[in-house]
Structure 1
Amino acid sequence: MSSPIFITNDEVKSVLTWPLINESIEEAFKSVVSEDKYPLIGDQDQPYANQNARTRTSTHNDSGSLFTMPGYIGNHKLSLPNGERKAFQTLGCKLVTWSPNNQNLKPPLPTILANILLLDGETGQLQCVMDGTLITAWRTASASVVATKYLYFGRKHVQGSSDGVTLAILGCGVQGESHALGMCTEFKVNEIRLWNRTASKAVELSAKLDEARNSFVNSNPIITVCPRVADCVAGADIIVTGTQTAAPILNLDMLKKDVHINAVGASASHYSELNQDIYDVASVYIDYWAGAKTELAGLRTNIVCEVGEVIINDKKTPEKGITVFQSLGMAVEDAAVAQAVYQHLKNKQL
C-alpha cells in the first residue's frame, strides 16, 4: 500500500485556474440535485453526491471553530491536461478552522485555514492530504461565479448583450479578493467598486486588481474605492458581500431593481449582511438543502431552489427582480476541486 502524500499550498497554486475550478464547482452543484432528479443514478450521465451538513466543534471559550466536511461525489467530469474529459468517483473530507484572532498575530495568519483529505472512492485508501486554504478561497468565489452565470447572465435580456457590468465588493479580505478576480476573469466587468470597514484594505485590493487587469475579460475596468456601502452598491449589477458583520450593512433602498447578490459572509449566522427588507422581496437560491435546513433555519425568505436545479434546466432562470445566492459551501465542492488539482499535479510529475 503506497503512502499518502502532502500537497502544499504552493503546489495547489501551480495548477489552480479559474476554468478548472469553475468546471468542478458546476459539477458539484449538479451532483446535489441528482439524487431526487435521477433516482436510477447508475443509468444516468449525471454526477451525484452524498454529503451531510458540516459539523462544528468550538475551541476554548468559543474563540474559534473546527468544521468537519465529509463528502462523496460520483461520476463527476474533469477536463484533463491531455484534453480528455473523464469521470471520477471521489471521497474527501475537509477540516477547516476559523480563528478570528489570527489576523492580530505577528506575522498574521489567515482567519480560515483548511486541509483536505482525498481518498480513493473505491477502496477508501488515503491518497493525499492537501492544503485547502487556497482552494477554500477560490471555490467559494467560484460558487458565486457559477451562480452569477446562471442567475444573472442567464436572463434573456442579459444574454447576448455586449454591455459590461458594474461589480460591487463589500469586504476586501480574502473572499473579496478572490471574488473580484473570479468575476473579472469570467465576465466583462466595466467597473469594480470596493468598500471595506477599514478603508486601507480596500485600497490594497484596488492595487492588486490593477496589477491583475491583464487577466480580465475587460482589461481596462474602472476601479473605485468607496467611502460608504451605499456609494459602492448604487446602480451595481452584481454585488458580493464578504464580511464578518453581525448586523445588516445592505438595505433594499440602496439597490437597483434587478440586481444579483452573492451573500458569502459569515459571523454568527450566514445571513446577517442583508437586511430583512431585501429577503422579503428577493428570490433566494442555495447550494444545497441539507446545509440550508441547518444553517439558514432562522432565515425568513423565499428560497426558490438549489442552483444546480437551474443548471440542469429543472428550474428556470428568473427574468427580473432581485436574486440572492446564499452561499454556504459544500464538502463535494472541495472534493471535486481537490480531485482536479490532484490529477493535474500527477500529470505535471509524469
Structure 2
Amino acid sequence: MDYEQKIINSLKNEFKSLEVDSYFIRFDEISDILTPSLVLEYVEKAYRYTAEYKERLQMPSKLYFFYQDGDMRVMPSVVDVDGEKVSAMKVVSVHFQNKKRNLPVVIGFFVLVDSDTGSLLCVMDATYLTAMRTGAAGALSVKHILREKDSISLGIIGCGVQARTQLALISYIKKVHELIVYDVSTEAMEKFARFSQNLGFKAKKANSLFDFKDCDVVVTITPSNKPFLMLEHVQNVKLINAMGADGPGKQELSPEILKNSVVVVDNREQAIHGGEINVPLKNGQIDESIIFGEIGEIIAGIKKVPPNRRVVFDSTGIAVLDVFVGYAIYKSARERGLLKNLKIH
C-alpha cells in the first residue's frame, strides 16, 4: 500500500458518514403545493415578522456575483416560522441568454438546513417559488395600501414570466376590472395577452406609456437600468409596484415620481443598495429621508400611509420571504408524504 492510500484509508476512519435524513421535493409537487392562498399567507407572515420581530431577524444583505450576461445572488436567513427555528438559503441566478437555451431567465434553488445539527434538511427548486413569492409581494402591497378599493384598474409594464404571477396574485386578492399591458417586445406582449385571457381578462395593449396615467395600480417588472416611466405617465395612479430594480444600477422610475410619492420599501438597507431608489440616491437626486417605511410596518399597522397620496412600493425581494415560503412547502410536503430521500452521506 502506498502512502497516499494510507492517508485516504486513515482519514476515512476519522470522517464517518452522517446518520441524518436529507430530502428533496420534486418540481411538479412544489407547483401543486404552492397555491395562491398558501403563498399569500406565508409572504404576509414574513412581512409581519420583519416589522414585529426585527430584533430576531437574521438576514444579511444579498451577496451578488456578476457574469457577462447576468448575475447570481445568495440569500440566507434564519427566522422563526410556525414556532420552528428555520435556517435556509436561496441561490438564484439571472441569465438573459437562457432564452436561447430554452431555459428560464431566472433559475434558483432553495436549501433548508437543520437548525439543531447544521446538516442538510431539504433541497428544492426555487424558480417557481421566486416567481410566486414576488407575485404575492406585489399583491399584498395592493391589499394593504389600497384597502378601501374593492376593484382596480391594473397596468403591467414588462410582460415576462414575473408579470404572470403579478397578474395572477393581484387578481386573486382584488377584483381587476381593467388590464393594460406594455412591453418593448410585441411578441412578449402578445404571449402575455394570451395568458391573461386564460384567467378571464381581455388585456388592452398600450400604445404608449401615457395609457397608464389613469390606472389605479401600475406594476413595473423589467430589467431596466434607465428610467422609462415619467411623472406625466402616472398622473392619477394611486400605487406603483416597482418590482424590477433588484440590484445595483437598476432603475425603472424617474426620480420625479419618487419625489412626488410616498416611498415604501421591503427592506431599507437592501433598497438603498439595490432597489428602485439606489441610482437616484447615488446620484444625489434624493436622500434616504424619502423612505416612509417598510411594507411590513404597513401590514402590521405600525405605520399608516398618508391618505390621498400616490405610493411607490420599492420591492427588491428579500430572503425572509423565501424562507417562510420554502418552509411552508417543506412542511406541506412532509405532511403529505411527498419528501424524497436524498442520499448524500
With normalisation by structure 2, the TM-score equals 0.85
In the alignment, structure 1 residue 12 sits paired with structure 2 residue 30: yes
The residue number in structure 2 matching 1:252 is 231
Question: Is the CA contact 2:246–2:274 (under 8 Å) kept in the aligned structure 1?
Answer: no
**Alignment of 1:131 onto 2:125:** yes
Give the drift of 1:241. 0.3
Q: Within 2, Cα distance between the matches of 1:256 and 1:88? A: 46
The 5 A counterparts of 1:1-350 are 1-36=19-54, 48-59=56-67, 62-74=68-80, 76-77=81-82, 87-105=83-101, 108-153=102-147, 158=148, 162=150, 164-213=151-200, 221-231=201-211, 233-266=212-245, 269=248, 272-296=251-275, 297-298=278-279, 299=281, 300=286, 302-349=290-337
State the secondary structure of the residue aligned to 1:328: coil
Larger radius of gyration: 2
Give the root-mean-square deviation of aligned CA atoms. 1.9
Deviation at 1:70, TM superposition (A): 0.4
Question: Secondary structure at the residue paired with 1:69?
Answer: strand
Contact kept? 2:243, 2:314, Cα under 8 Å? yes
Distance 1:34 1:97 in 2: 30
- How many correspondences in the alignment? 311
SS in 1 for 2:333: helix
Shift of 1:7: 1.8
Following superposition, the deviation at residue 93 of structure 1 comes to 0.2
- Deviation of 1:271 (Å): 5.2
TM-score, structure 1 length as denominator? 0.83
Deviation by residue 1:14-55 (Cα, 9 ceiling, x = unmatched): 11111111111111112222345xx6xxxxxxxx42101000
Alpha-carbon contact 1:245-1:273 (below 8 Å) kept = yes
Give the letter aligned to residue 65 of structure 1: D
| Cα-to-partner distance string for 1:74-114 (whole Å, 9 max, x where unaligned) | 1x34xxxxxxxxx3321110011111111122xx2111110
Unaligned segments of structure 1, at least 5 residues: 40-47, 78-86, 214-220
* Cα contact 1:92–1:119 (8 A) shared by 2: yes
Q: Please, which runs of 5 or more residues in structure 2 have no aligned partner?
A: 1-18, 339-345
Q: Quick check: 1:34–1:49 contact (8 Å CA) kept in 2?
A: no
Could you give the per-residue CA deviations for residues 162-183 of structure 1, whole angstroms, max 9, x where no partner exists?
4x21000100101111101111
Aligned-pair identity (%)? 27
Query: Which residue type is aligned with residue 91 of structure 2?
Result: L
